[in-house]
Chains A and B, each alone.
Chain A
């Protein structure tokens, strides 16, 4: 299946949902994507929903709360803001906005209703989290929703991992089934409509390792089946092979001749050339060859999944020391807009 070009997949997208198996660098990629969009002069909101404070760690700012905080001001005029959405606060805010509860909000909190609704009814919890994202995507500068300009040019969501993503995004429907009428029902329908529209795209982050690739393929099929718009497959932490192809082939085919030459070469420059060192170097070479072959096979699998692929390099120091900025440049270079 030929993948559509990245430009087309990203056209008109205002909500970028970033998911991936645990440990693949979801937060780094979401942060880099937010930064890349901000560098093009946009006003971008980066949202996390699992209370992990990954954004604050990535950008080296104090832990985020329920208020939006500016993370980066770009010379282009673009801005990147961060927000950590928390279900309890979102529920109270929601009740306040729609019902002008005043003191009653506190009563509900004391009664344990808030805890009940946010921890025990997981569908409600997720609808509150996605509801906050929905609000940010649709927020306008005018006196009422829908009037004036959009407050955010783009919203990037650092979403739950692949194992939970379809449920997280689709939970609105689940709530719609549970709460058959009422405002939560209406809200859930609107959210679902937005998530399924061309304005939203789900990007999946993977590594060139077996499990993450497998999970990405599974998630892709699930998300497509549930009607969500798919964005890019982001292959993170890609390392260039450290040995030339010709040598990789020789290590497979004719290791003895390589061994002989290595021994002679080491002796010639006065490096210890005993069996342990020579054998060790060859073993490292063989393991590397095996790794490269596996990564290439996995890269082919990823390319065959039918979505545009973006590759990001492995950073030695992780995302410390401005690594996110390097990744943002990579994304821009590969046509993210």
Chain B
């Protein structure tokens, strides 16, 4: 595929650079984000890196190809990858609830932890899909990075982000947590639990009473009591919780982190990619480049679509003209028409990418051809990795 002025994303340089410590793959759902993360992991390990890949919700067969048969929140070695080059690959699936539980256990006394874990409000928050997954992905990333720094198990962490529609969720996780904990309402809820909360409460009492009374009315008194218990019980670990979210956020902004935005050559997916690229820039997050998966490529690129269509017509005419026991036009016209149709798709994909490149000058791109079938083994991941590195 011609480059048309867009800079090529040098995947191998990124993966082999010892200063690259974290690669974050983000993008909208359904663009092959998890496959990209896994393929980068395999390629990096086979270039000698000691890699851990954190996936969120892999397709069953892709997970199996990585030897992930259960969601147990622990990195497991992927056999047969990287040993020859002195590298290694571990992979894990995020268990959101367990990660949350672990944070609770790590930051409170056993007695308090039990109180929190049994709270119905906690159970709702920790197992609900929206929002919590982003917090926990960040938490797990922080944990893996800390473990890598501490005992040198890994020198590269690759993260596949949750399939949230908007990047905001992922990038905002630490900040949202922070602003929630700073929220006046939460402080008020916690205030009665604090010995010195009285004067403080007085200042806000009118609003506090109104808020509490309204919530009681709407949600029922028990709900508010549960929330209050929950918030009070979490109080002790808030500090640690928040500090870690801040540390992880800072980590994401460091030059050792590389964001890879994954897209497909479709209007919606590229619009999402634009959103991600702009958002990362606004946050000052280090963008390595954009991967466009599922590009239609031609196996016979020398033959133009229009020439193929014309030749198909010619052959069909000839078959038509041979009036006596008319021979079937045979396989050639059909194959030529298929080629013409594929050429049209390929041209459209290239045009979309060209358009994207034109509005994002300086953003390196890598294009990965569409496979006939899905990827579900290591060899498939290797070939995706090779495509990523060559840029298409």
Contacts and interface: CB of A to CB of B under 8 A. Distances in A.
A291 B374 CA distance: 10
Interface stretch (A8-16, A67-75, A142-150, A179-187): A179-187
- Interface residue tally on A, bucketed by range: 35 or more
Contacts of B311: 266, 269, 271
Interface in B29-69: 29-31, 57, 59-61
A250 B331 contact: yes
A113 B211 contact: yes
A112 B165 contact: no
A280 B120 contact: no
Interface stretch (B74-82, B124-132, B152-160): B124-132
A22 B374 contact: no
Contacts of B130: 122, 125-126, 164
B194 interface: no
Interface in A230-251: 242-244, 247, 250-251
Contacts of A108: 210-211, 214
A301 interface: no
B249 interface: no
A110 B210 CA distance: 12
B110 interface: no
Main secondary structure of the interface of B (DSSP, over half): helix
Given A122-B132, A177-B120, A265-B315, A99 B334 contact: no
Contacts of B57: 163
Contact of A283 (B186, B268, B299, B341): B299
Nearest to A115: B183
Q: How many residues of B sit at the interface, in one of the four size bands?
A: 35 or more
Interface in A164-199: 164, 167, 171, 174, 177-185
B267 interface: yes
A115 B124 CA distance: 17
In this complex, the member of B59, B185, B215 whose beta carbon has the largest number of chain A beta carbons within 10 angstroms is B185
A111 B57 CA distance: 36
Contacts of B300: 276-277, 279-281, 283-284
A23 B372 contact: no
A292 to B, nearest CB: 10
A271 B341 CA distance: 18
Interface in B194-224: 207-208, 210-211, 214-223
Contact of A242 (B210, B219, B334, B373): B334
B307 interface: yes
Contact of A121 (B28, B124, B307, B373): B124
A182 B218 contact: yes
A178 B120 contact: yes
B188 interface: yes
Interface stretch (A206-214, A303-311, A324-332): A206-214
Contact of B330 (A23, A214, A261, A291): A261
Contacts of B372: 287-288, 290-291, 294
A284 B128 contact: no
B299 A279 contact: yes
Contacts of B117: none
B335 interface: yes
Interface in B273-294: none
Nearest to A180: B222
A7 interface: no
A277 B218 CA distance: 71
The 7 closest A-B pairs by CB, nearest first: A23-B30, A22-B29, A280-B300, A182-B220, A265-B332, A283-B299, A280-B299
Given A125-B130, A183-B218, A184-B223, 20 more contacts: A22-B163, A24-B30, A112-B185, A116-B180, A116-B185, A119-B180, A122-B125, A180-B220, A211-B59, A242-B338, A243-B338, A262-B331, A262-B335, A277-B302, A277-B303, A280-B298, A280-B299, A281-B338, A281-B339, A290-B373
